Amino acid sequence: MLNLAVILRESATAEPERPAIMYDGGTISYRDLDTLSDAVAAALTRRGVQPGDRVALHLPNIPQFPIAYFGILKAGAVVVPLNVLLRAPEIAYQLTDSQSRLLITWSGALEEAAKGAAEAGLTGIYSVGPVDGTAAQPFTELTVPCEQTWPLADRDGGDIAAIVYTSGTTGLPKGAELTNLQLYLNADIPGRLFDIRSDDVVITALPLFHVFGMSSTMNVGVRFGAALSLVPRFTPHAVLTAVTRDRATIFDGVPTMFTALLAQPHDDRYDTSSLRVCISGGDAIPAQTLDAFEERFGVPILEGYGMTETAATITFNVSPQDRRAYSVGRPVWGVEVQIWDPDGRRLPPGAGNVGEVVTRGYHTMRGYHDRPQATAEAFAGGWFHTGDLGYFDDDGYLFIVDRKKELIIRGGYNVYPREVEEVLHRHPGVLMAAVVGVADPRLGEEVKAFVVPRPGPAPDPEEIIGYCRERLAAYKYPRLIEFRDSLPLSGAGKVLKKELG
């Protein structure tokens, strides 16, 4: 038996009075988080939810997310986290595809959630906040106290604990089936390697509906009894305020968050001296951003690598002493990683041996929900194919070059957008940049850069092109520059390149 909710029960038993949740409304102890999630488990069971049933969780980073999350798990049900930015048709698709029985949402998204639920034929809706004039019932109905500790439902390690939908860069999003054992080990092993402690306070600004926030922040924190400092919506001010208020020691973020924090003016209101380390993942962090952040804040950034299907850790730089700058680290315990050429042959270490990153181990999903063909393709040859391109150095550190599907082939030459973006981020007038391939009748594809300039006089496009031309091979530098006020971002803060072009 292994029910993922055991990570909460054990931490609540070990140190019941230690803060589990910190937010602008106060704190919730591990004892209270355990008790409140017990109430949710009991309420769901009374409403007919059985082990293996799906319950959709459509909440931002508010206390009700971990309360509901662990309650669903305790009842033996499967958590289906939904991005709070989804519109009604997208909600309907994921509710239908996952076969969810209930939906827990919040007042800020209730209108879209109710429409989506109606389209999916789902009637059981509970909402945090006002529910006036809707078919939803208040979430408080699920938190009526139990008379006794709720027993964890019997679940096997191979049973699904969560179905998390991919971003859907091609086609419709697919639901990755993440198991109890997979999520437990992805909380336990990276947490041990990283040496997270019960006196740590982790800034939880990454969306909990995303696997990075759910697995690598929330589950890891709860497994080791740390406090989660919840930030409902990322802004530099909100994060720096939470760090100051809660004396946070760890900040988990994606590269766009570090870029935004760097752009925040110095302010005496913020005290970040309590931070001991930052963790970057979800996308490749530009070298310029990493160096500038460490210099300004005096805190090391440890970069890791993972994805929804691996929930999430594959490789990690485990400490400031044992890291390789600009690398995503080495495979964590129990995880195998290789680099394959297009014919499925393993490539040796070396920057010249770029190939697809493949992996296998406890960390990989059971499969894509109701997608046997997609699952078989993803696990071709017995290894999970990440779709990322990279290489190992001689010391076993992995370097990610780019997404396989984002590779630009210009006149027969391979152009890796990340390499061009690294150069653009070093330009003093560039705040953010994203590089994509656009159709070209002569070359097949041309290199185009979308640039968010820094405040002040806008840089000249030709000057930026010239800057890149001096630092990149002739076939690599962008010929097209388009300025934007911002770049489209996913709910997890990744640049949505599919919306550019």
Q: Which helix (H) or strand (E) segment is 376 a member of?
A: helix 372-378
Say what percent of the chain tops pLDDT 90.
81
pLDDT of residue 413 exceeding 90, the answer is no
Residue 72 pLDDT exceeds 90: yes
Cβ-contact 407, 435 below 8 angstroms: no
User: Which of 254-263, 270-279, 315-324 is the most confident on average?
Assistant: 270-279
How high does pLDDT run on average in the chain? Answer: 94
The answer to whether the Cα torsion of 426, 351, 385, 1 is positive or negative is negative
Average pLDDT of the segment spanning 98-115: 96
Q: What's the CA gap between 196 and 233, in Å, rounded?
A: 24
pLDDT value for 126: 98
Quick check: 441 pLDDT over 90? Answer: no
Q: Which pLDDT tens digit goes with each residue over 33-61?
A: 999 999 999 999 999 999 999 999 999 99
Q: Examine the pLDDT at 168 and tell me if it is beyond 70.
A: no
Mean pLDDT of 88-105: 96
User: What is residue 171's predicted lDDT score, i.e. its pLDDT?
Assistant: 67
**What DSSP designation does 25 have?**
T
User: Confidence band (pLDDT; 50, 70, 90) for 444?
Assistant: confident
Compute the half-sphere exposure of residue 203: CA atoms within 13 Å on the CB side of its CA: 31
Sign of CA dihedral 351, 353, 354, 356: negative
Q: How confident is the model at residue 193 (pLDDT cuts 50, 70, 90)?
A: confident
Report pLDDT for 167.
66
**CA 278 to CA 299: how far, in whole Å?**
7
30-179: which CATH architecture? 3-Layer(aba) Sandwich (3.40)
The pLDDT of residue 69 is above 90: yes
> Is residue 169's pLDDT more than 70?
no
Enter the tokens of residue 84: 């709070």
**Rounded average pLDDT over 313-323:** 91
Q: Residue 4 pLDDT > 80, yes or no?
A: yes
Share of the chain above pLDDT 70, in %: 99
Q: Is residue 457 predicted with pLDDT exceeding 90?
A: no
Which CATH architecture describes the domain 407-499?
2-Layer Sandwich (3.30)
Q: Residue range 158-164: average pLDDT?
A: 98
Are 310 and 360 spatial neighbours (Cβ–Cβ below 8 Å)? no
pLDDT computed for residue 440 by the predictor: 87
Q: What is the domain partition of the chain in residue ranges? A: 30-179, 407-499
Instruction: Evaluate if residue 216 carries a pLDDT over 70.
Output: yes
